[in-house]
A and B are shown apart, each in its own frame.
Chain A
Amino acid sequence: MLARTVTHALVGLEPRRVEVEAHIQQGKLSAFAIVGLADRACQEAKARVRSSVLAAELVWPSPCRITINLAPASLRKEGSGFDLPIALAVLAASAQLPEGALEGHAAFGELGLDGRLRPVPGALVAAEGARRAGLAHLVCAAESAPEVALAGVDPVGVRHLGEAVAYLRGEHEPPEPAPPADDFEALAGVPDLADVRGQERARRALEIAAAGVHNLLLAGPPGTGKTMLARRLPGLLPLLDDEASLEVSRIHSVAAVLPPGAGLVRVPPFRAPHHSTSVAGLIGGGGASVRPGEASLAHRGVLFLDELPEFQRPALEALRQPLEDGVVSVSRVATRAVFPARFQLIGAMNLCPCGGRGDSAASCACSPERVQRYRERLSRALLDRFDLVLAVPRPRGHELAGPEAERSGEVRERVLAARVRLRERPATRTASADALLTRAVERLPLSGRGRARVARVASSVAALAGADHVEPEHVAEALSYRPPVELAA
């Protein structure tokens, strides 16, 4: 007897159709083989599938020679998502499912020894594969059902192999997944800018960065609220549109960081990897399987790198490709994957290795050479990517005790208006604004690139002000966010 189920393997972020064929041959000896480039976790499916079938009080065909083929055989299959389709194929091949019951169904999920179904990362991508293959239903773990629903495929969320079989026999109807939380609730978890007391300049820079999608570098002694500020950036950004949202959710699904039941990612993601993160951790990679890195998890959102100079140099240099092209391509022996990685970069650093510099309450004991070495860890090429560079001094006591500042919502309104303006009617510089810019290039150490940066930031400042032209005061403000000589030289 031969039966077939359809499932999808992940290659990077793309689903690849995999047909699971089960062949059962009556014989004297029992044998169970999986062929078709299956990795270890896949091979182990044998034990899980067999126990699950027995645990579901179904019949394990025996004595029989059972062969499972995962086609196409040329594609490497990994992970435990094949458990369920293998089990269903065996059951269909042994006539324990009604004929044609698997028609229009894909399956995806890991089985426990007791037959319980476990969610596997990448359910959203598998569901998209099912939709593209013209399959209307996807049998999956109940926890994955909301994710599957997002892809426009009818989820059959089940808790147990027995439940799946009951459904396929037409004896059981799985419950509808809960509707995802709406936007308002989604934003509720993002910290509010009102918590940041004082720091008017930094707040302003954050607003400009949000309006013009500029990368921002915050330099200042520890404890001045650099991280706190960065965490509040997603709350100032527009929510993701449908396309972006699906794109981001897909990445998060594959990396298994999509919170259960939260629905599509609507709020721009915020990722803050530790400075010990490896190159692979930052831009993606891994062993044979290629997983998205932090740069891709921050796609359409914010990548926050605290203690920027402490990151390994190769990791920082690897960020230059996504900063330039918005994608990361990772090649491994067996696979090559391209992950989208268009993020806004927020960097934070101390002004010196000991952290005392720029802090009125501490003194810095670093030698000039040590400070220089610390700052030289950032390549010129990377520094060039920061449109806004800000020295964040320690706020005074009375500032921290001051009244509550403006809320994120109000700032966000201005940012949204500025974004519309920048898209629809980009302002042109007036002659006097141009003159100021030229004077700055002559007067300050400002390179050609620096000039372009200032011009970009000035446009965002003008858009925030709702001005039709970029005036000298906008250029002047943009100039105040240029990197200080110590960092630029």
Chain B
Amino acid sequence: MSELAVALFAASTGSHLLEEPRSLRFARFRASLDEPGFLRDLEHRGLRWVARGASGYPARLRSIHDPPPGLFVRGDAPLDLLGRTAVAVVGARACSGYGSAVAFELGRELARAGVLVVSGLARGVDAAAHRGALEGGETVAVLGCGVDRDYPRAHATLAAAIATRGLIVSEYPPGVEPSPWRFPARNRVVAGLCDATVVVEARERSGALITADLALDEGREVLAVPGEITSNLSRGTNALLRLGATPVTSVDDVLAAVGATRAAPVERAALEPRLAAVRAAVADAPAAADEVVRRTGLAPGAAAAALAELELLGVVVHADGLYREVVPSS
């Protein structure tokens, strides 16, 4: 069977196909398809194609019940990246500052520990996880459209960064536009590529929960980050916890779930007292810069400088006027 023909036929007809259909239409499509030409053209654009039968196709993905016929790949990293221990970090697009800080931190620490971080390049949690992972190592983005499509557009720079350090993959050929029905299908690839799926923040009917369900169907580990019980953004994750998902209280829980060990902590003790004091001011709860000024007694300018330095060190993050610590002090 020709997986490439199946993938291209599925994209051109807008259908979800895993095997060669026995139709006249497909036979005609296949006859008219110039496979070597298409592959040359693909290579010319710096893209790759991995068929389900090929050796580079990730084994974990092949073992799900509906593996895609193949993957289009953009990026310079070798394909065996996809064979590494992998964790999906997914969640709400409209996440809170807490959600993006946690996703960022999980992404970074997992990547530092040598774990591949997989997500969907969406806004919110996905993007934060990718960004964090890029700081610590490699990451893979799975798209619900062509790999040349940079969707959402606002993440074009992020996509370019991922392509240089990691991979962007999709079961859809280049040029395919994003459409809503393709996202759940994309989620099965995210879950399928990974040993475990972490849901960071999710509303009651979130796409991230679909990813979690798919992971459960395949017998993969599902973890959820606890949130405030009063927040809509925690409904989905807390419901998962209630059903028995492993709670994530630190990155160690995730590492334990996939059998990896934490990388040696990086120069944690090196903070000078001035920075340590400012860090302590945001340790308990996220705080605005003014709150930091009051707690530390520093001048507003000095506090701002210290916060920027901590941000550069990756100890705190800043969103919508609030600073929060991303690395617990221990």
- The reply to whether the CB of A477 lies closer than 8 angstroms to some CB of chain B is yes
- The reply to whether the CB of B210 lies closer than 8 angstroms to some CB of chain A is no
- The reply to whether the CB of A348 lies closer than 8 angstroms to some CB of chain B is no
In the complex, which of the residues B154, B157, B321 has the most CB atoms of chain A within 10 Å of its own CB atom? B321
- Contact yes or no, A391 B301, CB < 8 A: no
> Smallest CB–CB gap between B210 and chain A, Å?
18
Docked CA distance A445–B161 (Å):
11
- The reply to whether the CB of B289 lies closer than 8 angstroms to some CB of chain A is yes
Docked CA distance A153–B108 (Å):
73
0/1 per residue, A343-378, Cβ < 8 Å to B?
Answer: 000000001000001100000001110011000000
> Smallest CB–CB gap between B282 and chain A, Å?
13
Interface residues of B in 152-169 (CB under 8 A from A): 152, 154-155, 157-158
> Smallest CB–CB gap between A388 and chain B, Å?
11
List, in ascending order, chain B residues with CB within 8 A of A476's CB.
304-306, 308-309, 312
A489 and chain B: residue at smallest CB distance = B154
List, in ascending order, chain B residues with CB within 8 A of A444's CB.
311-312
Partner of A358, one of B300, B301, B321: B321
> Smallest CB–CB gap between A474 and chain B, Å?
8
Docked CA distance A372–B93 (Å):
12
Docked CA distance A181–B314 (Å):
55
- The reply to whether the CB of B48 lies closer than 8 angstroms to some CB of chain A is no
In the complex, which of the residues A392, A465, A479 has the most CB atoms of chain B within 10 Å of its own CB atom? A479
- The reply to whether the CB of B307 lies closer than 8 angstroms to some CB of chain A is yes
- The reply to whether the CB of A7 lies closer than 8 angstroms to some CB of chain B is no
- Contact yes or no, B319 A484, CB < 8 A: yes
A471 and chain B: residue at smallest CB distance = B305
List, in ascending order, chain B residues with CB within 8 A of A481's CB.
304
0/1 per residue, B278-321, Cβ < 8 Å to A?
Answer: 00000000001111011000001111111111011000001111
- Contact yes or no, A391 B321, CB < 8 A: yes
List, in ascending order, chain A residues with CB within 8 A of B307's CB.
480
- Contact yes or no, B320 A357, CB < 8 A: yes
Docked CA distance A144–B88 (Å):
75
- The reply to whether the CB of B322 lies closer than 8 angstroms to some CB of chain A is yes
Given the contacts A201-B293, A393-B290, A479-B308, A368 and B124 also touching, CB distance less than 8 Å: yes
Given the contacts A201-B289, A489-B157, A480 and B305 also touching, CB distance less than 8 Å: yes
- Contact yes or no, B312 A201, CB < 8 A: no
Docked CA distance A399–B94 (Å):
30
In the complex, which of the residues A358, A465, A477 has the most CB atoms of chain B within 10 Å of its own CB atom? A477
- Contact yes or no, B300 A204, CB < 8 A: yes
- Contact yes or no, A393 B301, CB < 8 A: no
- Contact yes or no, A393 B322, CB < 8 A: yes
Docked CA distance A200–B292 (Å):
10
List, in ascending order, chain A residues with CB within 8 A of B182's CB.
none
> Smallest CB–CB gap between B141 and chain A, Å?
16
List, in ascending order, chain A residues with CB within 8 A of B152's CB.
372
- The reply to whether the CB of B149 lies closer than 8 angstroms to some CB of chain A is no
List, in ascending order, chain B residues with CB within 8 A of A367's CB.
94
> Smallest CB–CB gap between B228 and chain A, Å?
12
Partner of A395, one of B157, B290, B308: B290
- Contact yes or no, B320 A358, CB < 8 A: yes
Partner of B312, one of A203, A219, A479: A479
Given the contacts A391-B321, A392-B321, A440-B312, A477 and B290 also touching, CB distance less than 8 Å: no
In the complex, which of the residues A351, A368, A436, A461 has the most CB atoms of chain B within 10 Å of its own CB atom? A368
> Smallest CB–CB gap between A419 and chain B, Å?
17
List, in ascending order, chain B residues with CB within 8 A of A392's CB.
321
- The reply to whether the CB of B123 lies closer than 8 angstroms to some CB of chain A is yes
Partner of A391, one of B154, B308, B312, B320: B320
> Smallest CB–CB gap between A417 and chain B, Å?
15
List, in ascending order, chain A residues with CB within 8 A of B321's CB.
219-220, 351, 358, 391-393
> Smallest CB–CB gap between B81 and chain A, Å?
23
List, in ascending order, chain B residues with CB within 8 A of A461's CB.
301
Docked CA distance A443–B131 (Å):
11
Docked CA distance A474–B305 (Å):
7
Interface residues of A in 179-215 (CB under 8 A from B): 198-201, 203-204
- Contact yes or no, A203 B300, CB < 8 A: yes
In the complex, which of the residues B152, B155, B304, B306 has the most CB atoms of chain A within 10 Å of its own CB atom? B304
- The reply to whether the CB of A317 lies closer than 8 angstroms to some CB of chain B is no
- Contact yes or no, A477 B308, CB < 8 A: yes
- Contact yes or no, A368 B93, CB < 8 A: yes
> Smallest CB–CB gap between A383 and chain B, Å?
14
> Smallest CB–CB gap between B316 and chain A, Å?
11
- The reply to whether the CB of A57 lies closer than 8 angstroms to some CB of chain B is no
> Smallest CB–CB gap between B97 and chain A, Å?
9
- Contact yes or no, B301 A204, CB < 8 A: yes
> Smallest CB–CB gap between B284 and chain A, Å?
15
A476 and chain B: residue at smallest CB distance = B305
- The reply to whether the CB of A439 lies closer than 8 angstroms to some CB of chain B is yes
Partner of A199, one of B93, B154, B290, B318: B290
Docked CA distance A366–B291 (Å):
27
List, in ascending order, chain A residues with CB within 8 A of B305's CB.
473-474, 476-477, 480
B289 and chain A: residue at smallest CB distance = A201
Docked CA distance A436–B321 (Å):
23
- Contact yes or no, A351 B320, CB < 8 A: yes
> Smallest CB–CB gap between A32 and chain B, Å?
68
List, in ascending order, chain A residues with CB within 8 A of B154's CB.
372, 489
- Contact yes or no, A368 B123, CB < 8 A: yes
> Smallest CB–CB gap between B59 and chain A, Å?
35
List, in ascending order, chain A residues with CB within 8 A of B158's CB.
489
- Contact yes or no, A368 B290, CB < 8 A: no
List, in ascending order, chain B residues with CB within 8 A of A484's CB.
318-320
Q: 9 A-B residue contacts at CB 8 Å?
A: A200-B293, A200-B294, A351-B321, A372-B154, A396-B291, A476-B309, A477-B304, A480-B289, A489-B158
User: Top 9 closest A-B pairs, CB basis?
Assistant: A391-B321, A393-B321, A476-B305, A480-B308, A204-B300, A477-B305, A358-B320, A393-B288, A479-B308
Other A-B pairs, 5, CB within 8 Å; known A367-B94, A476-B309: A201-B289, A201-B290, A351-B321, A477-B301, A489-B155
